[in-house]
Structure 1
Amino acid sequence: MMFLTLYNSIFIQETPLDDDLVLGEIIEPTPIPFSFDTIGWKVVFFCIAVLFAYIIYRIYINYKKKSYLREAVAAVQNLSNKELETVTFIEGILFILKDTAIQTFGRQEVAALHGEKWLSFLDAKVANSNFKAQENVIFDVLYKNEIQPNVTFNKEEFSNKSINWIKQHAR
C-alpha cells in the first residue's frame, strides 16, 4: 500500500489534501521608519538643485543670445509704424536684415553679398521668403534711390516677410 501511495504521489502527481495546505499566520517585519535625514537624500536634493540652476542658467543664456532677434523685429515694426517714403522704408528694412544676417552667419559670409546674391541668400535661408519676387523694386531703391511711379509696393507685406525671415533664418 505504501508503494501505491508513493507511486501515485510521484508519477500521477496527486494533489495533497487541504489539511496539508493550511498555513499559519504570516509574520510581518516591523516597519522601518522613513525620513529624509539620511545623507543620500541630501545628495539627491543637492543634485536636483544644481540641475535646476543649470537649466535656468541655460535658458537665460539662450534668451540673451537671441536678444538681437527681438531687437530686429522691434526695429522692423517701428519702421512699419512710421510714415516713411518707400525708398527710406526699404533701405531701412534691408539694413536691419543685413545686420541680423551678419550677427547670425558672420561677417565673412554675409558682408560681401549684394544684389542678386544677397536676395538669393535671403531666400535660401528661409523657405517661402521670396525676396526675389520684389527684386526690381529693391534694386531700384538700392541702386537708383528711387521707385518707379507705376510700381505698387506693399509695405505691410514686405515688413511681414522681413519679420518672418528674422524669426526663421537661424533654425
Structure 2
Amino acid sequence: MHEEWKGLSLAELIDLLEPVPEPGPISMTPQTMGWVWLGLVLLVLGAALVGMFFRRWRRDAYRRAALAELGNIAQDASSLAHLVRRTALAAYPRSAVASLFGDRWLTFLDEAYGGSGFSNGPGKVLATAPYQEEPVGEPLRLLVKEWIKRHRRERSDD
C-alpha cells in the first residue's frame, strides 16, 4: 500500500478510485447477414400481406355498396330483387346469372351462400317480386343481408 493512503478512511479511499468508464453506444445495425436476410424476408411478407388485404378490400367493394344500398332501399320486394340481381351480376359472370329465373334463380342463390332460405324460406318472394309489388318483411331483409355478406364469389384473375 502507498504511503499517501495510510490513515485515510474507507470513504476517502473510495473517492480515490477512478470511475468506471461508460460503455460505447450500442449499434442498431445488424451484426450478421442473417438478420439482414430475416429483415428483408419479413419486409417482403409484410408487403405481400398488405397487398392481399388491399386487393380483397377493393374486390369486395360491390358488397359494401350493396349493403349500403340495402339500408336505403324502399320497402318493396321488387327493389330487393333488383339489388340481389345486381350484386350477383357483380360477383359472377353474366352468362351464369343473367338467364336464371324462378326456381333455378332461387337454387342458385341458395348454393352461392350455402343455405336454403331462398328456396324454402322468406326468399321465395324474390322469384316473383320483379313482377308484382309485395311488402318486404324483416326476415327477407335479413336473408338478403346475409346473402350479400356470405355468398362465395367466383374466382377471377383480378
TM bucket normalised to smaller: 0.5 to 0.7
Q: Distance in 2 between matches of 1:59 and 1:135?
A: 32
Q: Contact 1:129/1:161 (CA < 8 Å) preserved in 2?
A: no
Percent of aligned pairs sharing the same letter: 27
Q: Name the count of aligned residue pairs.
A: 125
Q: Decide whether aligned partners of structure 1 residues 138 and 38 sit closer, same or farther in structure 2, where only a CA change above 3 A counts.
A: closer
Q: Deviations over 1:67-95 (max 9, x none)?
A: 1111111111221xxxx4x5xx2111111
Partner SS, residue 131 of structure 1: coil
| Selected match of 1:142 from 130, 135, 138 | 130
Please say if residues 78 and 129 of structure 2, whose CA atoms lie closer than 8 Å, have aligned partners that are also in contact. yes
* Structure having the higher Rg: 1
User: TM-score w.r.t. structure 2 length?
Assistant: 0.67
Q: Report what 1:127 is aligned to.
A: 114
Gaps (5+ residues) in structure 2? Answer: 1-28, 154-158
Q: Give distance in 1, aligned partners of 2:32 and 2:57.
A: 38
In structure 2, relative to structure 1, the CA distance for the partners of 1:47 and 1:134 (3 Å cut) is closer
Question: Taking structure 1 as reference, are residues 96 and 50 closer, same or farther at Cα in structure 2, changes over 3 Å only?
Answer: same
Query: Measured at CA, do residues 72 and 37 of structure 1 come closer, stay the same or move farther in structure 2, by a change above 3 Å?
Result: same
Backbone CA RMSD of aligned residues: 2.5
The answer as to whether partners of 1:129 and 1:165 remain within 8 angstroms in 2 is no
* Cα offset, 1:103, TM superposition: 1.9
1:90 touches 1:141 (CA, 8 Å); kept in 2? yes
Find the counterpart in structure 1 of residue 60 from structure 2. Answer: 66
Question: For the Cα contact (< 8 Å) 2:82–2:130, is it kept in 1?
Answer: no
Gaps of 5+ in 1: 1-34, 148-152
For residues 52 and 114 of structure 2, the distance between their equivalents in structure 1, rounded to whole angstroms, comes to 29
Equivalent residue number for residue 108 of structure 1: 95
Secondary structure (helix, strand or coil) at the match of 2:152 reads coil
Q: TM-score, normalised by structure 1?
A: 0.62
